[in-house]
Amino acid sequence: MEWPSVREFLGIPAHLTGKDIAIAVIDGHFPPHPDITTNDRRYTYLVKTVSTDVKPLIFHAEKEPWRNSHGLMTAAAAAGSGSLSSGYYSGAAPEADLYLLETGAFTTVEETESKFVMALRWLLKNWRRYNIRAVVLTVAYTIDTGLLPWQVDPIKVHCEQLAKEGLLIIVASGNTKELTCSGPASSPSVLSIGGVIVPQHLHEMSPYHGCQGITFEGKRIPELLAPAENIILPSPFKSAEEFEKHYTAKFDNLPDGYARTEGTSYAAPIILGCAACIWQANPEWTASQVKTAMVSTAEYKAEWYEAEAGLVHVKAAAMYPVQSLTHTYNPQKLDDSTAARRERDMISNILSSYNETNSRVSTDKLKSLMIHSVSPKVRAAALLAASSEITYIELKDLLRESSSHIKMAVLYTLHHRKDLWNDSIHYVIDLCKDEDLNIQYCAIKLASTIGDSIFLKPLINGLLEDAVQLRVSIFGARCDALQLLTGITYELEPEFQDGQCWYSERSTESRVNMALKWQQYIEK
């Protein structure tokens, strides 16, 4: 079975390769694979952002074995050379210069936040020095799922700083249907990327099962689409057995060392590569102009209406009329009424000094707004700003609120206030079955952090419904929490294979079987 390359599928003109355009990819690890290292057509630099002496070093290829990693595939999707496929299965911009910002491994939300902030700070100091035009982040972490203001998230704060300075920030929106977004895609100034499924016949092209929704600031997720399933990327197999266990590789007629994969983690770097191609044709354009050109020329299909985003069209974007670029793309469909502007100004004022000692708004004023403001978003912002100072009695008035923004602000507050956990446990249990799946997900994550056995039964009771309803991220969060609470790990049956879609029948069967095992556990 044969599959098109990224460039062929998107119809990227042969002369647009990202030549002489520098782009950056942030990820945990980059192996010295020939597809992403320096060659005779471009330079690649490795930047270990957690080291004490952070300098870009020329990154040369080394002999296999190469470690198969998320970073290898994200970098290859953006600018892989396709060297092991005679150049065919290259990334979107095979001649772009690459800066690979390696954070090292990360396992917790806190560790992810710390290491990605270090990488973004390096960019803040150095992107102009090295003439880096754009960066992609594909991290999935869960401070929230887009329902809180960007000012409370250090990664989003740094993204906004970089975007304001003129760097194009591209972020994967996430791979599950039930959440608004995953990671920093909700940050107002970043370009959030969803996906389409690459078909064997173009007329059958369909949308990918990614995150979508409206953020706290009113931005719709995603804003632009790229290939997110049936993407051919480097996949070094360590053995024949590993090859045979791959979900698709043994059925495809692909060059050795390549396989189909999926995820907005690869759609987003494809957009990064597309941006490099557009800059090659229009080197004088700003980040805002490139973003405007890509979104304005994207191809829309009726069956993608729910996502309200179009597929990137590099040729059309590169030829976008310069006079049209005076009207820059604005992702937020803002209500321009006096009341709406006043609400936005109030929230901005409340959060302008977030995490600083001297806030512009007094704690007493924040507490008053938290209870008495007619705007749920203002109340949520006031709670976040006062979260270190409030008592349970003051918080209690908000526990009956129906607004998802307020509920998410309460969950965020509780995550950082262990002293409030005992009084709030039953509230968290209720939110684990909230009608808003974003709230369910983050409540389950908090239950996992609290670690009380009282959560066992509520967590298990929701598993089977999540499995049947294909709530992939919520099901996974429940299982993670149960493993932490009990120390028990059940294996998936049938086992998960690399390249397998989480929404496939095989995956659903595995989740149903897992749910039944946990039900047996609770019934003992």
Q: Which of 83, 90, 265, 387 is catalytic?
A: 265
What DSSP string runs through 124-137?
HHHTTTTTEEEEEE
DSSP 30-78: ----TTTS-BTTB-EEEEETTSSS---EE----PSP----HHHHHHHHH
Sort strands 191-197 and 213-214 into parallel, antiparallel or unpaired. unpaired
CA-based max dimension of the chain:
70
The yes-or-no answer on residue 265 being catalytic is yes
| Residue of 5, 27, 235, 415 marked active site | 27
Cα–Cα nearest to 210, from 243, 181, 238: 181
Whole-angstrom Cα distance, residue 291 to residue 297?
10
Yes or no: say if 175 and 207 are a contact pair by the CB < 8 Å rule.
no
Nearest by Cα to 440 from 472, 474, 416, 414: 474
Cα separations in angstroms, 161 against 20, 151, 308: 25, 11, 27
- Residue 3 tokens read as 């599959």
Active-site annotation holds for 27: yes
In eight-state DSSP terms, residue 133 is: E
26 phi, psi to nearest 5 deg = -105, 125
**Among 29, 70, 252, 480, the one annotated catalytic:** 70
Pairing of strands 220-221, 44-48: unpaired
Q: Concatenated DSSP letters for 200-224?
A: SSGGG-EE-----EE-TTSBEE-SE
Query: Is residue 158 classed as helix, strand or coil in its secondary structure?
Result: helix
Partners of 197 in the beta sheet? 206, 229
Contact (Cβ atoms closer than 8 angstroms) between residue 169 and residue 288: no
- Residues contacting 393, CB < 8 A, separation 6+: none
How many C-beta atoms lie closer than 10 Å to residue 65's C-beta?
11
Q: What are the catalytic residues?
A: 27, 70, 265
